[in-house]
Structure 1
Amino acid sequence: MTTNDNIARPTLMHRLCLCVLLATEAIALPSAQAVPVATVPQPNSPQPFFAAALSHFPYSDPTTPCALSGNYPAWAKSLVAKPAQRRAACLKEALDGNLEARVLYGWMRLSGVGARADLNGGIAIIEGAATDGSPMAQYLLGSIYRTGGALPQNHALAREWLARAADNGSGDAADTLGVMMISGEGAPVDYAGAYAQFARAAGRGDAHGALNAGRMRYAGLGVPRDVNDAAAWWARAAAGGDADGEYALGVAYLQGSGMPRDVDKAAAWIRDAATKRQINAQAMLADLYLSGTGVPRDDARAFALMSAAAAQSLPYAQRRVGDLYLWGLGVKRDDAIARQWYQKAALEGDAYAQYSLAVAYRDGRGGPVDLEAAIGWMRGAADAGVAAAQNDLGAMLQHGQGEPQNLAEAIAWYRKAAAQGEGIALFNLASLAYTGKGMPVDRAAALRWAREGGEHGNAQAARLAGTMLLHGEGVPADKAQGIEWLRKSADLGNGDAAREVGWQYLYGAGVTHDEALGETYLTRAANTGDARAQLLLGVYLLNRKPKAAQSGAAREWLVKAAAQKFGPAYSALGDAYWSGAAGQLDRVAAVKWFTEGAKSNDAVSQRALCVAYWSGVGVVRDFGAARYWCDTAARRGDVPAMQLLALDPPRDEAGEAARVYWLWNLADRGDAKYQSMLGDAYDLGVGVNADLDAATYWFRRAAAAGNAPAQASLAWHMLTGIGGEHDDTAAYRWAERAAAQGSASGEAMVGDAYLLGRGVARDSRAAKTWYEKAADGGSADAASRLARLYEAGIGAPADDTQAVHWHTMAAAMGSSSSNIALAIRALAKHTTWQLTRKQLQWLPGAGRDHASDANADHQDVKPLVRPAVERDAAAEPVKKLRETAGNAWDALSSLDEALTGDPLEQYEIGARFWNGDGVMQDRALGYAWIEMAQRGFAREAGAQAYADGTKIVLARIAPLLSREEADRAHGLSEHLAGTVPQEEVGLLLGAK
């Protein structure tokens, strides 16, 4: 934009036309930064000015040689008439009394046309003509006094001679006098007087006077503002051929200011002005060609016109040429040249060029990054009021670019830009208030700024407002309003918002379900290249539109997302081929996509690849590769992969430790199932050091979350006191909760509670009922307990046939107690040939040492021994390492119950010590426990077969003891007899 004085001082040029009103210029433009008003170059000598000025005056006879010589272009270009000849012609006519010729001759002497210049002689002739009443001479003399040079500058005399010329009918003189009045030359500024002179000039046919009258009318200077009247003045100026008037009228038509908007007429008048080299018109016409307004779009023509105006040093045009080079419009893109043009315009004071130059320095466009220069130019543009610069200066200060970080000043600049309606500045303020950076957290203020920014067209602000309303941040949640703001953001071009809106409508999340609208918004986001939207759209089409899946449309979107290295797209493609949703079942193709996704660190693809290698589907089976990919996915936080590793059957001690590691990760996340399994690991000491306290801790957490196996395990720990706490009542309650969920272990323990009167009143019939439920649920321990009830006649009639039936069932399910019972019974009846290998192992000294096979299939848990935990089938089969730990646990459980007086348990722990099964081998201690059991059986009338069988076992193993072992066994037996309680009624059950 040019920066002329109010109505600029006229230079010595055609018709003294530089009466420029700065205020009028700005108002007359389409926008504050669009097309500038032109200035006319100052001539290098007075000759062009006087010749042009004098040629405009009406001559009484314009055909005389002297009058023709007043036409500067005519004599300057003539190859026939020489200046000396013209001068001689004017002298002759002047001597003949032609006043006009005298003025021209005086000017020729003054200017040195046709002979050496005679300043004093020329002035004297012109003064004489002026005194004699020549308006031409009066105008020239007034102009000479105004500008100085030929005569000392004297504004008072200038005004006097110009007024006399105007009174004598000179429109040029009236126009120039108006310029002096509005400029305050020689007297105070007089807008009203200036307007009167401009109107007077126009009334005498002066087009430039009409232009200036229109400008003052438009600006309301010296006269009430009236855009219609201003347009009428400009129409007169344009009709008179004034280039500035043509330009002003064109702008009025373009804006619809003072007349109906008509872009075709606007373009026509602006083109006429541009043809006369009115540089503002050249620049504006270039803009019209760029936008195709009133003229066909023509970038090349636009560049030529803008370059012509820029070459005349118009700052606006210089900046716009920079824009054209930056954007590659009408010329090959060249950021370096763009930067040069921005610099030219910036140095001329163009604030928008200063902003563009600052951006170029900041972003390294067209040259190296220079943050110091960037922030300097940005400050200049911001100080000049450019809203974008104010915002960007705030951003640079916020992030410490070019200067140290200064959040307080950044916020101040954001506020200035926001006051001008800069949407992004409002978004920046909202973001700072939301996060509490540079100001206290204020969600209400954040929402207010975000809404205002959205109303000013900023998509990011609209999205923030929508998200806050959707989730109730700053105000109560309003999903309908939230969706509306997200839609506004999407409609403003925000791809993230379009994706969110599409998802909301597709699945009816917070808004009425509308698949068509959802697909529309998702497609819009996908078309912007948003990989997430492409993935969502592809998956939606696969699942909801089979035809789209079969046609490949869904697959194409997924492929586009994958092409952007978006990991989830690989797993979606793999899943589509794996399941056949992509139109064909192709596991090999699925594995290829999973492999690509796994390499790009997509955890779902890594997990899927793990499953493929594990199952050998679509790829050669490879457990090592399977575990590698599951481990990779799990370490990236993929929970299903962690679960696969936690359920992976271990193959060695390291594998158990790794499994427990993932159990711990899952348990720590609050998963009750894995908390219970972790408790098992601590109980058994598998993959981790045995820690009964830790086991109880994890069982308690899982039990509180409703996990039935953990409730049963916790009940057992509290019943036995293993793990630090003994509480029969709490044990019964936890067992009851587990039983209520159908846990066979829980049901068996409720039966134990009723049988033994622990935590609940003793009720043997109720115990029998619970044992039957548990046995039906697969509890070997409950079945073994039922057998012993029938043997003892407790809670049921004594029935040896039923007892053997339940022992047989329990033994088949893995109960060590029932296997022992059947083995001892067979030994007493001399029918051991009927026994299984597992049963024979419980008869020490039976001709061979069965210790090596002692627990090949042993997995039982007894009613008062820690109950078995129901596990996912994927955790089986349990390997040798876990079996060894299980045997140790069973031995500990058996010892615990042996100490309560149960002779079957005493026999079991004795056999274990004898064989070293789950405990360190100690034959003396084993013999002592078996002897303890034999005495218990002998005291019970209904247990004669057990007493007889145990006596045979003792007879077989006694000779195998060394003398030292025998002595020690005898001492241990006496110690046990004195310390282990034997007062129980129903010794087979260890219960009263």
Structure 2
Amino acid sequence: MKAPAYSNDMGLAGHGPRAKAGLAGAALAVGLAFAAPVAAQGPAPRALGPNADFSKICTPAATPKLTRDWSKWDKAQPVSDPEEMFAAAVAYAEGSATINRDPVTSRRLLEDLADRAWAGRGRAHFRLAKLLLDPIAGPVDPERAAKHLATATSMLNMDASVLLARLHADGLIAGASVREAERLLRAASTAGHVEGVTGLARLQLSGRLGAVPRAESDDLVKLALQMLYGDLAKGKCSALYEIASILSSQDLVPGGLPEAVKWFEAAARQGEAKADLALAEIYLQERVKAAPDVLMKHLGRAATAGEPRAMTLLGERFLLGDRAPKDFARAVSWLERAGLHADPEAYRLLSRHYRGEFGASSDLPKAADALMKATNLPGHNASILVGLARLHAAGLNGKPDLETALTFYRRAVARGDVGSLTEMAKLLLTQPQASRSGEPLKLLGEAADRGHPEAMGVLSDLYACSMIVAQDRAQSRAWLERAASAGHVRSILTLASLADADASGRKTVEALQRAVERGDRESMVLLSLAYRSGRGVPQDEALANRWREAALAPGEGRTRALLLLARRMLNGDDGSRDENAARPLLEQAAQEGESGAQFELGRLLVMRGDKADVPRGVQLLQQAASAGNAAAMMALAEAPAEQIRLTGRTALEWRRAAVEAGSARAAIVLASSAKDDGEAARWLSRAETLPVCTARDMVDLAQAYHKVPGTNHEDRARHWLHRALDEVRAGSKDPAVMFLVGRAMIEGVGGTADKTEAIAFIERAADAGRSEAMRYLGRGHAAGQWGESNVKAAIGWFSKSLQRGDGSVAADLSRIAAVPGSEGTEAVTVLKANAESGFAPAMREYGRCLQLGFGIPPEPETGASWLRKAAEAGDTAAMKELSRAYASGYGVELSAKASTEWLQRAAQAGDQEAMYGLSLAMTLGFGTDVNAVAAQEWLKSAEGIARK
């Protein structure tokens, strides 16, 4: 059972005996400023408020003097001074500016001291128990800790009594009892132990002791503050930090944080590094606002004084550029120092830095080295091993090392990480030659039996579409429902899409609420959206805001919540698409190393095409790819040549990497673009070993088999097309897939020849708004592809496509207009209506119809005016038409100069034909001066486009 880390130092032997007055009944008039007079060294201030000059009354804590290097001590060496040995153990347990934290050495010393007969034996048992409860020191063991605490308690060590009470109160040990916790805390309180008093107050306030008047608990808090004030008056400056800690606790002192900050600042002025760290964390969490330089000042002082967590936080700030400029050198320096203080988180951050997550160049061997250093620390957890497994699966030097990756995954499983079973299975699914028959399925089954939702979701996918098990829709649905019940977000959404609207909303919310109870952040996002929209629950803006805040609060799972919310905004799932709102969410998640966010943000920046953003977009895609994101690899493969060059790889290399990462789509693309049939057959065979789970991939795989000769390829084409048909017939509503399936059927892929059903699919896609389906139907009807030509139907589909912004069909309409008959007039009418609405391709084709008399009496001048409007709107084809008109004087004044000027505008817009024409004009001096150099440059540009 896992126990929390108790980081506060409760002293060595409590606060000593005090008067055994009744603790709960006395109403002690103790204010936060404490106005009582004190006896102290030197003149005492009238009131010891947080702004007092405590340097006049405080006695500095004694610094232990170590006469030997205790890290090298072994039992063979004599111990003349157990107190020095104990002081060394404490120093190694906590770390300082002069001693690196070393929990292993501390534990070794304390285990000897706990068995040694000396006056401080109880303190040794207490300190040893604290180490057993601290994850930094190794696996947490509450039961062993409880035994040492019981021994220390029997020796009247009140620190041990308080810590043992916490184990009882939190139910972390066998036989845990709230009443025993109360007894131990009352004993410590009676002995004058401040932590005992505040612990008893907390237990009362929790309600587990029954109804206790709030005033009684408040009196305990006041008593604790009075006791600390007494310590402070005696010159014990450590009381400043303890006073602040009480005031900062919302359950003990509601609204006490602003006053707590003042006391933490007082403690920090006296050199208390823990106070500097506490202030930094308060400011970092924005519980209290502070200027960036104030936060950095406190972090810097705590780190310099030897606080390992401060070192890690400081390094992280420099990595992120958060509250300070980015400074990788300083970040690495602080993180390496924190690593020497046994902080695995520091090495994890270093590994992320070397993976290039924060903007530095990627160095995967160094990333792996940082994680290997973390594995040598007693407090490393399974996530370190998983990180190493992923690095080796991706390949430290570009070549995946499957065996090493599996070794680290197995070590993570041995440490209790169930998710590693699922990751192992997914890795083996992408490398079927490396696994024994049925091994991935066995691993997923074990993970699912141990409650891992992702394993259940993968099993659902496998039974739906994998080649390693027979397709079984009932099994797939059963795993899908089980995964959704376990809180698997993707399964919840898939299940919702398969159900009717009303039932879907209710069932989805019920599944989300179960997942939220287990702390799933993505489910909190979806529950927030449900309350905002009123789908499945009554609309409630307050609850929507509450669940959104909970989902995005700092902590584990936040990055996945940020990514999910951003994706919903980008997809327009909950209304209109909102790229501006999604981008800051993606920025945060990407900065925290979420590869999915790096992919989405990188793709967004690249698609925008802003020259300033494109290099960063490519870098983010590379970072996601280096983390094994196959979609990012495919995005890089499909990027323009100048962007791919930035990555140092070719499109072919990125597609091959995507195949290795498990992308069936990448294998299908490689098969479709293969240079010879043998190579295509090899990639098709590889695609068959990977999960082909979407109807689109099934159609594309069928198309690829159809194009490549082979003895069984037509059978495989038929198999995959029928799989896609099953998906569509089962209720798939994706219009793009319906279009692809219909077109493949018409083309006879797999010998399928039901054209009636094929056209019905394409019409459903067109009715759903797919312009390519409208265009296909229009051209098919115009050409008589499915029987007699039906020009009227063709014009209807072309008109709809044109209204959807498909400029390519404007030329189809002008071709119909050129054929004598009544349909030509109808086509011109459609073009005119769209031209008058300002659509440039329609302006161009309507102008051509007027110029040439297609479906309408010729009006060359009017036609040329429409061509000019289209050209001025940026239509390059219109620019070339207008250039030809000026060259011939048709509808405009004959002008070689105007002709070449419009040709140049088309060339500058990137038109290859215009570039060739402009090169010739500059060579001949047609409408421009002869310029052989410029002519040659335009020719090179045109040839460059041809090569692409």
**TM-score (norm. length: structure 1):** 0.36
Larger radius of gyration: 1
